Amino acid sequence: MRKRGVFLVSPCLVAAGLAASLVISPQQVTTSVRVYDEIFLTDTGLLALPEKAIELTSETTIKSDYFKAPVFISGGRSSDGAQYLYCSASGSPVLKFSLDGKLAAELGQKQNKPGGYNLVRKTRVSRNGAWLVAYEADKQVFEYLDTNGAIKKKKKAAEVGDFAVDDSGNLYVAHLVHEKKAPLITIYSQAGQPITFGTALPLPHSLEELNSVSLALDNSGCLLLAFTYFPVVRRYSMSGELRGEYRIDTPVLQAKEVYNLKLIGEGIAYSSRRVAYRPLTLSLKTAGDKIYLLGCHPRLEITELDHDGHYTGVYWKEFRDIYQAVDFEVSQAGQEIKFWVSHGQPAHYEVDIFKRKEPGEKGLRGEIDRLTEEINLYPENYIAYINRGVDRHRLGDYAGAINDFSKAIELNPEAALAFNNRGLSKIKAGDLSGAIVDFNRATELAPDNASFFYNRGVTYFLNKDYRRALADFEQARSLDPQLEDKVREQIEFCQKQLKSSSR
């Protein structure tokens, strides 16, 4: 008899928000998302997954002593025909990795001095064919590197937001926008004068920030541009002709846009509100005939579009703490797809490799069948009931999950995990009062478990009982300091609500 204890993932009040990553099944879709200040809510209080949501799982993490600043990534083939990933961070050489995460080379300019490399501030890197280009932000210059990292030539360019290089060595650069009529893109050709094009968004203020974009070249010879703070992707020909403009209307992107538009409107009268816009797209990449957009708040989401800008799915992963994504790259081998995502906060910059999580619905149903056979053989095994309840919850069968957790409690009235999990399923079923009763018992049985207090705080929050929610969030934070970043904004939101209600 095999026993294994499984926690349902606790609801995540997502940096802003209330989201229950609770375990949201990709088959259950909710599309209505509202924004209250920094808090993301759906009609049920849970953050919605869009249609065709595919969960990711972590394969490995790349660490390096050179990663002392945000890491930027570019994929490309080397002269040996193999696919590699090139990583660049402030103060480091360009690092070349194989697709399995092994360091293949350190590409930098050798110096006759201690330290070995010319440790410049290379903030971005792009590889295409024989061309490897890094941008040195402190000197505002592009460096064309050879296979050993030696600088072959340089090109001056000021205020670069993002760039890409094609297989002829031409540079496509998004400069910072200071005026409404300023172009978005400049092409620096290997032969000829620069070409500028692209209409900036004519906003009333914050032009530089709100017109920030990410760039990528696709396999049809076009340039793609994604706005950081709006769910808009544009396609341009290499001569600057606008071929298409696409809106991506997933729940999270729509909610962030509403939040940003609210700040923009308030910023017309109050300059102090011209801050803290929510980024929608941190980076844009292409692979085959697909387009990928990186977002990280309130969870990691990589949105996939087809060649014509139609939404085809989203890859996602929930984290216990705040996941600050910076850049990413996509690698494909046959039907397998992997994402390299750089993330981190000071002193903890890393690159994670993610792949599609298995099993999906079919695997969950198979696991339920296996656990049912185990229960038939060992009907007193309360852990099997907990595990089957978890799988039923993941499939959206909340009534079945509640029945399994109730049976586990009947067999073992001291099973705090069963009370906690039943409370999570009751939230999904809309029984908030019943969920609070279960979380009360879970916290009595396991008073040192931060997740149980956190989950009860979610339930109080949904009931708009901000005083009790605040107490539970603070207790969860005191029990588990890793929750600090996750609950900070929720605590501030509760305090603000209590203060306004006391006036």
Name the phi and psi angles at 121, rounded to 5: -90, 80
Q: Determine the pLDDT at residue 362.
A: 60
Task: Give the DSSP letter of residue 481.
Answer: G
| Cα 264 from chain centre | 24
Q: 183-186, long-range: CB within 8 Å, 24+ apart, which pairs?
A: 184/211, 184/213, 184/225, 185/215, 185/223, 185/225, 185/236, 185/240, 186/157
Name the phi and psi angles at 233, rounded to 5: -125, 135
Name the phi and psi angles at 125, rounded to 5: -140, 145
Positive or negative: CA dihedral 47, 51, 55, 56 = negative
Beta strands 103-107 and 94-98, pairing class: antiparallel
Measure Cα distances from 338 to 302, 332, 420, 421, 479 in Å: 11, 6, 34, 31, 35
d(CA 318, CA 328): 17
Residue-range domain boundaries for the chain: 361-501
CATH architecture of structural domain 361-501: Alpha Horseshoe (1.25)
d(CA 314, CA 295): 10
DSSP, collapsed to helix, strand or coil, labels residue 273 as helix
Rg (CA), the chain: 25
Q: Determine the pLDDT at residue 501.
A: 83
Answer yes or no: are the C-beta atoms of 293 and 279 closer than 8 Å: no
Closest alpha carbon to 295 in 280, 314, 306, 305:
280
Q: Determine the pLDDT at residue 22.
A: 27
Low-confidence ranges of the chain (pLDDT < 70): 1-49, 79, 108-123, 320, 359-363
User: What global pTM score does this model have?
Assistant: 0.73
Q: Determine the pLDDT at residue 112.
A: 38
Closest alpha carbon to 287 in 238, 240, 224, 231:
224
Name the phi and psi angles at 13, rounded to 5: -75, 105
DSSP-assigned letters across all residues of 81-137: S-EEEEEEEBTSPEEEEETTS-EEEEE--B-SSTTSB---BEEEEEEETTEEEEEET
Beta strands 141-145 and 131-136, pairing class: antiparallel
